[in-house]
Amino acid sequence: MDSQRLRRLCWSGLLLGAGLAGVSARYRSRIERSPDEGTIITERHATAVLVSRRIDPGHVETIKNEVSRTCLGVDPNRVLGFEEASTASLFINRSEATPELVWYVELPRAVVDEWDDPRSTVASAFPVDHDALEPVDHPDERTLLVHAVHPGRPRTTDPGQNRTGRSLEDSAASTQPAVDVELVRMRLKPGLPERLADWFERLTQQVISGERTLDRLESWSAEMLEQERMYTESIVLDRRNGYTLYQYMEADEMQQVYDAYYDTWNPVARVAEHLMGRLLENPACILEYPLETEFELLAHAIDPDRPRRVGDCLETENRQKR
């Protein structure tokens, strides 16, 4: 790999191989032993869900137009789906064989924990209803591995404005959104990479439940979020057809994410860099910038009071108990 490609190394390599173990240290290092307002939100405090709908191949443009009609230029709550949702995005995959509409939604864990069947509840709130859409995933096939939030993330889709949450169409006059939002699919090779993903899922569940707390390593993890200007990042494991990782990224500028990550020395990142090619079927989909992704962003919405720190999540939890 030449130096130019190395410059474009994405932090998501942390999630693979020894990186799967290493990222545990990186992300879990963001968890303080006693939650306070200075603690960074992680998967312990919030969850993120991906829900897919298969599109009838002959109606891809119909669905895109439906999203434009019902989700753009209107109340962002249509995209958010829930009053308590923090962040939500709609993506379209125009694959000729299996086109799909994918919804990402972020919710406080205190809210989700009150539901009898959280995954089905989220799936039933899919923001687009059309005869050309068909459910394709079982709620149990996807699980959250990693979630992290920038403590100063904006509460509008245009960080340069002081307005409330708006749709993608309202947030920018050009074809480029005011923030960069990407969804990338990374297929794992069979065998050891899949077993590592299983192990990482178990570890994540232990951290979420409080059974395990991993020590902080360095303050660089929080500094990295600031340098990257990465506002929201989530990794979801999908076992529907083999093992696949979906990485969701909401950032000020994706190029900044790549440059900042490369310019920051970190041993875990360097180990992950070495292992990326061995564990992913197509490492270029995430190693190279611009990103190789089949998903096109159609709509993005933000709650004007979305949580930034654990203290915000605790306020939500207290409201739920009243």
CB burial of residue 129 (10 Å; 0-12, 13-18, 19+): exposed
Contact 45, 56 (CB under 8 A): no
The pLDDT of 198-210, averaged and rounded, is 91
Residues paired with residue 235 on neighbouring β-strands, in sequence order: 146, 247
Contact 101, 90 (CB under 8 A): yes
Q: What is the pLDDT of residue 232?
A: 94
Q: What is the pLDDT of residues 20-76, one digit of tens each?
A: 444 444 444 444 444 444 478 888 899 999 999 999 999 999 999 999 999 987 678
- Pair type for strands 142-149 and 180-187: unpaired
Q: What is the pLDDT of residues 125-158, one digit of tens each?
A: 999 999 999 998 676 789 999 898 999 999 987 7
CA gap 292, 186 in Å, rounded: 10
Q: What DSSP assignment string belongs to 194-258?
A: HHHHHHHHHHHHHHHHTS--PPP--THHHHHHHHHTEEEEEEEEE-TTS-EEEEEEEES-HHHHH
Q: Rg (Cα) of the chain, in Å, rounded?
A: 19
Rounded percentage of the chain residues whose pLDDT exceeds 70: 74
Residue 278 pLDDT level (bands cut at 50, 70, 90): confident
Residue 281 pLDDT level (bands cut at 50, 70, 90): very high
pTM value is: 0.84
Residue 113 Ramachandran class (φ > 0 left, ψ -120 to 50 alpha, else beta) = alpha
The pLDDT of 241-256, averaged and rounded, is 94
Whether residue 124 is predicted with pLDDT greater than 90 in this model: the reply is yes
Identify which of 206, 288, 208 has the alpha carbon closest to the alpha carbon of residue 10.
Answer: 288
Q: What is the pLDDT of residue 58?
A: 96
Tell me how far CA of residue 255 lies from CA of 35, 202, 227, 262, 289, in angstroms: 32, 32, 12, 11, 8
